Amino acid sequence: MTAPRAAWKGFLRMGSVTCGVKIVGAITEAEKIRFNILNQQTGNTVKVAYLDEEAEEAVDAENQIKGYEVGKGDFIQIEKDELKALKLSSEHTLDVDEFVPMDEIDTRYLEKPYYLLPADKPSTEPFVSKQDPELLEIASLLIDKKPTKFDPSKFDDRYEQALIELIDAKRKGKKQPKAAPAPQPKNVVNLAEVLRKSLQQEGGKAPAKSGEKKKAA
């Protein structure tokens, strides 16, 4: 069985901890029955072609371009490279700002389940913290410091906003807004210490270090 393909790759950031992650679908539709469209007379498969509305001629893929209609028959053309270069601060990073109990999220907001996994071997350490009682305790205290109720009004469609900015810039003859640089992962040498600092920043008291507990005993 082949490994599931990542739908997205980037970084997970919580406080001072940053690690590479990838998102893969929790379910697959590979086993579903799929049909092809055939020419009933010849039995051959057919393909979809884009036609020029006026010339009624097929347009090759290399000559196809996206366009946003700003007036009747008046379009602003958007290049593929412009879409790739959209200014999105969240394109590469998932910031964990707070935690919400699962039962508070309306199922209408849930479309498809995904798994969040380490992007590579060096990114695995933060994911195996549950195997360390000390790390688990610190992480649990940090989560307890960030509980909140689910408020959908906090979430904006940043991609849609970036599209609006791009279209507005092209309409005014200005340059496309520059894309935010991709963040660089930090080399987490001591995950426990980093989590302690994050907890202190949230106003929490970190548990004593393992060595300190033994010394006190």
Over 70: is that where the pLDDT of 194 sits?
no
How many whole angstroms separate alpha carbon 141 and alpha carbon 199?
7
Q: What pLDDT, on the 0 to 100 scale, is given for residue 149? A: 86
How much is the average pLDDT of 54-65? 92
Over 80: is that where the pLDDT of 76 sits?
yes
Q: What pLDDT, on the 0 to 100 scale, is given for residue 94? A: 84
Q: What pLDDT, on the 0 to 100 scale, is given for residue 216? A: 47
Q: What pLDDT, on the 0 to 100 scale, is given for residue 126? A: 60
Is pLDDT larger for residue 208 or for residue 20?
A: 20
Neighbours of 155 (CB within 10 A): 9
Residue pLDDT, tens place only, 166-192: 999 999 888 887 766 655 555 544 556
Over 50: is that where the pLDDT of 140 sits?
yes
How much is the average pLDDT of 110-138? 74
**What SS3 class is residue 198?**
helix
Q: Could you tell me the pLDDT band of residue 214, with boundaries at 50, 70 and 90?
A: very low
Between the alpha carbon of residue 162 and those of residues 17, 83, 84, 108, 198, the distances in Å are 27, 9, 11, 25, 31
Over 60: is that where the pLDDT of 215 sits?
no
Q: Within 13 A of 24's CA, how many CA atoms are on the CB side?
A: 12
At 141, give phi and psi (nearest 5°). -65, -40
How many whole angstroms separate alpha carbon 94 and alpha carbon 123?
14
Among 55-64, 103-112, 141-150, the range scoring the smallest mean pLDDT is 141-150
How much is the average pLDDT of 93-119? 85
Instruction: Give CA angle at 186 (185, 189), nearest 5°.
Output: 140
Q: Please tell me the pTM assigned to this model.
A: 0.60
Phi-psi region of 170 (alpha: psi -120 to 50; beta: other; left: phi over 0): alpha
Is pLDDT larger for residue 185 or for residue 92?
A: 92
